[in-house]
A and B are shown apart, each in its own frame.
Chain A
């Protein structure tokens, strides 16, 4: 037994590293005096980066390891979860970098942001690995409760406080509903373990199925809320807008990827087998919701004045696109989702980085602030253009390959209607992405003043993040190979 636990700890190092980092950060934070808060955050950020890099290195190193359950099978470590965790760690590192450079977070609260975001990351990692309902619930709550704090980090700002309140109210209710649903599932199936669930669900009688159908919908509500899919998306735009920009960046990556990862695992662990009535309900609901999520996200994004809010709505529609991969219930679908997640990570980071620096300069991020950016900062504008085209799914950028992979999964299962809905949606999306491109290139700026945020180091950071957006559009063989190898492991 002891040996078993020791072995488990060996596979749990990435998370442990992050927990240690979190504790370390608390110490480092306390060494700063009352007056030097904000100006001397070097050690704090150094600690955070070291923790994230160590964790990342451990994760990348274990990508090829054989899958297996740890801690009496309550967590599964498989290539799928490891890859999802890699995406989340990189996303956190990006948001952390942005939090230091952004003036949207009060300088005395930057330490808090770093500590809490690593906490959210740990919750997300637990969620990606969860192999029973209890771990799933713990993961979601770790992720959520800390997120509420992040959303209201700009505490003197009304909108940020509103965001925090809204987030926690919605989050509390949906977690409650999910728990209620989970308790029914436990009552009928008699286990909280995902292991062997497929077989158990296939031997149910009609009465039990009738009980489980609404229970699964409640279960889905909890996960759907985290991914912000329609109709559980109401909180998202307000929270995304009210939160400081680095937090929004963080929210549109880590909780979203964690939510998608757990959705994939639950769907595969519960319904990966033969067709049953329950599977039809789940997958049917999922496909309708995926189509709705894409459409509502895109249509709402059109009318926005704030770029951040537009990106928030567009991230809802991207989540819808990833959900389409889940509907397929195939390995190709999972590969498509992972590839989509990787490209989505980099595109989101570039878009939010640039928006953040523009917003810091002008005090708001209305579309007009991007006017004539190409004349002031040609390189940054070109990176933004590339990212916008990539988000819209235009070759030769990575967003296109991601879209192609989802289409590939959908059509492999003959889901032509879903593919067409997804395709039409990307036409709608192109319209609002083009809006930014248009303003940057075709319009003249009111002033010739350069944007202070685009200092050399920030430009380098943005350039580094843009590289994968371009490269993965042309040389995507190796990454698709990795995504393909990241099989989901169901015992």
Chain B
């Protein structure tokens, strides 16, 4: 049942090969390790581009041409099943570009370079695994394996409190995945007699059966689909992160090294929302519709609460971390609306937040390399930064682009997706739309306030020594700047990829409303 192309295999395993290659290079040859990693991500990027070229925008389901399906554990009907559709392709593109940029931005990492690059490449491979998997078991394996490199990357190369952040991140996500595992095995046993399977497409096809099923829990009958939707929900919500499961995120973001924060914000958070779109919504459409108001309210809390939290921060990285919480709230509320614009907007927002949040974290990393602190206002009340605009003009311009994209200024990418989401949710949640718009306003307020405090005013004494961005830094910021501006004016390349797949999901959900 394999497709004609092995492209997905190549994309999935190329970074893994790269990681093994890094391990073979002697420790002393630091530049060789860096260039090897860079070349590896470049090759993966080319392969991803090839995938994009061969992608047929008109197909709503999985692209048969790229599907790979090999039996893994026959006894349990577990397959090594990879596929790509319009929801996963934007994520794949995002991953390839962001990882390439992360390698470039990690050029200045000094500590144990070999381990660092090997782990990043390993992480990249597992990320592809999550986005490609069409078998729940395989998905789960990749979902969990990903925690291992993340744990070490935060714990070894992170800031002062790195151990605490790494452990918290690991335990939180693991807790969510345990519930997911229970749900996964329950689904396996539920798919009728004789067709036990972990195949996500087969599970999706038997969605109607799940609605009729009951589960006995402590002697009370509970609807099967609602119960396990909740399990999956918690598993994915921790990753997004949805309030009240978000407390790991500020720690992990602040403690993680720059490149890892970028991967976290740019790609890993999207895995949560991707999980909703790939697993929770198609397999439990009835429950998804049933809980849609609840999800929307949580999304709204994310938007407003995250924005207020961001406003209160004096650490600029923490501020951006909370702004991620706020922006992921838009994705959640857009998905909960289950309208065509809402869902398209949500997927587009996943992509756009990936680029803009990555930009912000990279810029903070650039700044941190010069200042070695991130205080907007130091704990003693003095200013941490001031007048950066006169000191670092190029940096400031890039920062403005990234910030306005995050803010959702028309003409930049964030605007399109947020506007789509607002159109989408207005039909269903009118009051919430107004409140969410308020969140947008708070978002603009904290970002502009931060900008004013850091970039304008008197030049703080120590900022005078800061140099502007160097060529390498400009080089890796450039693709993101282009993406943010280009997709702000002309979003159709990304929208076209996902339209067919997203709309088929909308149609599916509409049947249960």
List residues of A whose CB falls within 8 A of some B CB: 389, 394-396, 400, 404, 407-408, 411-412, 414, 416-417, 419-420, 423-424, 426-427, 430-431, 434, 437-438, 441-442, 476-477, 480-481, 484
- If A404-B181, A411-B182 touch, whether A416 touches B174 (CB-CB below 8 Å) is no
Chain A: minimal CB distance from B50 (Å): 28
Contacts of A437 in B (CB 8 A): 151
- If A431-B167, A431-B171, A438-B167 touch, whether A416 touches B73 (CB-CB below 8 Å) is no
B52 within 8 A of A: no
A481-B166 Cα distance, complex, nearest whole Å? 38
| Structural contact, A416 and B186, CB atoms closer than 8 A | yes
Contacts of B72 in A (CB 8 A): 477
Q: Can you list 13 A-B pairs with a CB-CB distance of less than 8 A?
A: A400-B144, A404-B181, A408-B185, A414-B216, A420-B178, A423-B181, A426-B178, A431-B171, A441-B152, A441-B155, A476-B73, A477-B73, A480-B73
A437-B151 Cα distance, complex, nearest whole Å? 10
Between B145, B185, B188, B215, the greatest number of chain A beta carbons within 10 A of the residue's beta carbon is seen for B185
Chain B: minimal CB distance from A12 (Å): 32
| Structural contact, A394 and B147, CB atoms closer than 8 A | yes
Contacts of B144 in A (CB 8 A): 394-395, 400
A408-B185 Cα distance, complex, nearest whole Å? 6
| Structural contact, B185 and A427, CB atoms closer than 8 A | no
Between B152, B181, B182, the greatest number of chain A beta carbons within 10 A of the residue's beta carbon is seen for B181
Interface of A is mostly: helix
Closest 3 CB pairs of A and B: A423-B178, A395-B141, A411-B185
Contacts of A423 in B (CB 8 A): 178-179, 181-182
Of the candidates B163, B171, B182, which one forms a contact with A442 in the assembled complex, judged by CB atoms under 8 Å apart?
B163
Tell me the B57-82 residues at the A interface (CB within 8 Å).
72-76
| Structural contact, A427 and B171, CB atoms closer than 8 A | yes
A395-B73 Cα distance, complex, nearest whole Å? 15
B156 within 8 A of A: yes
| Structural contact, A416 and B179, CB atoms closer than 8 A | no
Chain B: minimal CB distance from A466 (Å): 16
A414-B216 Cα distance, complex, nearest whole Å? 8
Would you give the 0/1 interface string for B326-349, flagging 1 where the beta carbon is closer than 8 Å to chain A? 000000000000000000000000
Of the candidates A407, A412, A427, A480, which one forms a contact with B174 in the assembled complex, judged by CB atoms under 8 Å apart?
A427
Contacts of A430 in B (CB 8 A): 170-171, 174
Q: Which residue from chain B places its CB closest to the CB of A484 in the assembled complex?
A: B75
- If A394-B148, A395-B141, A434-B170 touch, whether A481 touches B75 (CB-CB below 8 Å) is yes
B162 within 8 A of A: yes
Contacts of A476 in B (CB 8 A): 73
Contacts of A407 in B (CB 8 A): 181-182, 185
B217 within 8 A of A: yes
Chain B: minimal CB distance from A420 (Å): 6
Chain B: minimal CB distance from A426 (Å): 6
A417-B222 Cα distance, complex, nearest whole Å? 13
Contacts of B171 in A (CB 8 A): 427, 430-431, 434
Q: Which residue from chain B places its CB closest to the CB of A389 in the assembled complex?
A: B148
- If A438-B155, A477-B75 touch, whether A416 touches B182 (CB-CB below 8 Å) is yes
B370 within 8 A of A: no
Chain A: minimal CB distance from B257 (Å): 14
Beyond the given A408-B188, A411-B186, A442-B163, please list 5 additional residue pairs across the A-B interface where CB-CB is below 8 A: A394-B145, A396-B141, A427-B174, A431-B167, A434-B171
A423-B76 Cα distance, complex, nearest whole Å? 21
How many contacting A-B pairs (Cβ < 8 A)?
A: 85
A480-B76 Cα distance, complex, nearest whole Å? 10
Of the candidates B145, B163, B178, B186, which one forms a contact with A424 in the assembled complex, judged by CB atoms under 8 Å apart?
B178
B423 within 8 A of A: no
A286-B76 Cα distance, complex, nearest whole Å? 27
A200-B339 Cα distance, complex, nearest whole Å? 63
Chain B: minimal CB distance from A280 (Å): 14
Contacts of A411 in B (CB 8 A): 182, 185-186, 188-189
A477-B217 Cα distance, complex, nearest whole Å? 32
Contacts of A431 in B (CB 8 A): 167, 171
| Structural contact, A477 and B182, CB atoms closer than 8 A | no
B140 within 8 A of A: yes
Contacts of B185 in A (CB 8 A): 404, 407-408, 411, 419
Contacts of B10 in A (CB 8 A): none
| Structural contact, A417 and B174, CB atoms closer than 8 A | no
Contacts of B294 in A (CB 8 A): none
A356-B215 Cα distance, complex, nearest whole Å? 47
- If A416-B215, A417-B217, A481-B75 touch, whether A427 touches B141 (CB-CB below 8 Å) is no
| Structural contact, B178 and A442, CB atoms closer than 8 A | no
Chain A: minimal CB distance from B71 (Å): 9
| Structural contact, B217 and A395, CB atoms closer than 8 A | no
Of the candidates B151, B175, B215, which one forms a contact with A414 in the assembled complex, judged by CB atoms under 8 Å apart?
B215
A400-B186 Cα distance, complex, nearest whole Å? 17
Of the candidates A438, A480, A481, which one forms a contact with B163 in the assembled complex, judged by CB atoms under 8 Å apart?
A438
A408-B182 Cα distance, complex, nearest whole Å? 9
| Structural contact, B179 and A395, CB atoms closer than 8 A | no
Chain B: minimal CB distance from A248 (Å): 27
| Structural contact, A395 and B140, CB atoms closer than 8 A | yes
A434-B220 Cα distance, complex, nearest whole Å? 37
Of the candidates B145, B216, B218, which one forms a contact with A396 in the assembled complex, judged by CB atoms under 8 Å apart?
B145
Would you give the 0/1 interface string for B154-182, flagging 1 where the beta carbon is closer than 8 Å to chain A? 01100000110011001100110011011
Q: Which residue from chain A places its CB closest to the CB of B155 in the assembled complex?
A: A442
Q: Which residue from chain B places its CB closest to the CB of A403 in the assembled complex?
A: B181
Contacts of B186 in A (CB 8 A): 411, 416
Q: Which residue from chain B places its CB closest to the CB of A375 in the assembled complex?
A: B112
A438-B166 Cα distance, complex, nearest whole Å? 9
A426-B147 Cα distance, complex, nearest whole Å? 15
Contacts of B140 in A (CB 8 A): 395
A94-B147 Cα distance, complex, nearest whole Å? 31
Q: Which residue from chain B places its CB closest to the CB of A395 in the assembled complex?
A: B141
| Structural contact, A412 and B189, CB atoms closer than 8 A | yes
Contacts of A389 in B (CB 8 A): 148
A404-B73 Cα distance, complex, nearest whole Å? 13
